[in-house]
Amino acid sequence: MRSFAVAFLIAISLFFGFSVQASYNFVNESGLKETGEKLGYETNQNTDTFIESYVGQVLTVVFSILGLIFFALIIYSGFKWMTAQGNESKIGEAKKILINSIIGLIIIFASYAVSYFVLNALDSSQKVESETPTTVEE
């Protein structure tokens, strides 16, 4: 019964995570494009064609799922701790789940930082390549 409850909680969390991710389009709904145009920045680039955009979307979905799994594990370990009724072995197991989920969250943050750094490096290198003038031989 407990495994069914945990599986159901994770399935519901994943379903709502995908629906939230699919319903929000950052480029069109954030207002950053209009703000950039008012400030004089060029916003004509179609960001949907760049590989960074695709990788960014995939990473956003993956990190959202991992965050939901972390949240579910925190809820599960708290529930397990509260229903332990003073049993030290069950409390120890709940603490172990809690500590492991926090370590997982730290790993998620570290992987986000690495992916953010790599995508920014790719983005800046692409801008440098597109700004370099090309000479035409006559």
Integer Cα distance of 5 and 7 in angstroms:
5
Does 51 have pLDDT greater than 80?
no
Q: What is the pTM of this model?
A: 0.53
Does 47 have pLDDT greater than 60?
no
Give the confidence band of 12 by pLDDT, cuts at 50, 70, 90.
low
Q: What is the pLDDT of residues 75-115, one digit of tens each?
A: 999 999 999 998 999 999 999 999 999 999 899 888 888 87
